[in-house]
Amino acid sequence: MFGKKQSIWPFILFIIGVIILFSFIFWSNGTFVRAPIDPLPGCVIVDSTGPSETNIDIVFLGTNYDSVGEFIDDTYFWKEELLKVEPFNSNRDKFNFYRIENFEDYGCEWDKGYILCNTGKIVRASSICPHDYFVVLTDIDGVYNLINWLRSSTYQKVMAINTADDPLVLAHEMGHAFGNFAEEYTEEGISIWWDAPNCDSDMDSCSKFDSVDNTSCIAGCTNFEYSRSVKEGIMRDYWHRDGKTYGLFDEYILSELIYDITSSSAKPEVPEDILLVDIECESNNCTIISVEESFGFPDGKEAHIEEGSSMRMESSGLGDEKTVVFFEPIEKMFTCFKTGKVTKIKDTIKTVIIPREETLKLTIHDANGKLISEYFFISNKEDIGAKDSSQIGVSGSKTVDIMAVS
């Protein structure tokens, strides 16, 4: 009998090994992928369904809350509200959610009738989490909302949400931040100056919408120079009883973006040495104004920016350059509540996070590839007389504006 008990040990050890193996590896979309990793201290997982390397990572931050507990509850609530909406519901396994529980001053203001936060502070705070998009949940007193309803907003990749609004406001703002959608309501004085995928300038036939069956061609998408594909939808009026979905064409666009961004490895899975780079743009002329070394997660890949100004990195004296980020020199800000407005912001500072690697030089190029500015790295802080720790190892004060000296 004792001998029989001993003989089963190899089998038991084999089963234990299989369990351990599958705690790190799981089956997803027909291929083996690594399990999600832990973020850095201070970043808490709300829901993680796959590796950050390919999944879309959304970070929740909170402001104006009376307690961390209320904020924690809201992160679960708003995550579920977003995932109720198609096509996010059908792609739940493509999204990871995180939160930062330490409340900081994110430079959020709401005295102009909408919430707007300092994107640089948001990006810096979120570097401890894998990140692609940011949601700032803003708990505003109900009396304030009754007197002067506060609009939510989207600026760069930051969605600032009034938590007293209809829960579909997050899907609306996600349409802006992720889908690059324009407003589908009309308002005098606003225009579309970018390639908004949900609006068609072909007012007669709406040929852009032909790729999806059962779509409409209805005049009015931001203004009456464009048409939209659905009479009522989330991007027009999410308070309307018929505005609880995006509509078939908008869902198709978002589905394609989700597929594209999650079909390739866009981000490292582990924290690493990073550079936090501030880029200041005046119209189309952009310059690197500061670089700070840190440790955390680099930015992910943006879904909709395929061309425009770019920042390139040259490493290790090899003379090889690679593009590390595309960005829009002219930013747009959406302030939304039933009807809102989009503002063109020409003078802006954008913060991006890139891998440190063995970077010797960063360069800014315009949409035509022309060199605008350079930023050189040196190894000795004393060589440049850096005045604060954010300038260690970099010659921030010696950014060369090529256009000015050529």
Domain ranges of the chain: 1-29, 31-262, 272-405
Structurally, at CATH architecture level, domain 31-262 sits in 3-Layer(aba) Sandwich (3.40)
pLDDT of residue 21: 54
Q: For 333-365, how does the pLDDT look when each residue is reduced to its tens digit (9 = 90+)?
A: 666 654 455 665 655 778 888 888 766 678 888
In the structure, what pLDDT confidence band is assigned to residue 322 with cuts at 50, 70 and 90? low
Mean predicted confidence (pLDDT) in 165-170: 94
When the pLDDT of each residue in the chain is averaged and rounded to a whole number, the result is: 78
CB 380 within 8 A of CB 313: no
State yes or no: pLDDT of 20 exceeds 60: no
pLDDT value at residue 405: 20
Would you place residue 220 in the very low, low, confident or very high pLDDT band (cuts 50, 70, 90)? very high
Per-residue pLDDT averaged across 169-195, rounded?
Answer: 89
Give the span between the Cα atoms of 16 and 8, in whole angstroms.
Answer: 13
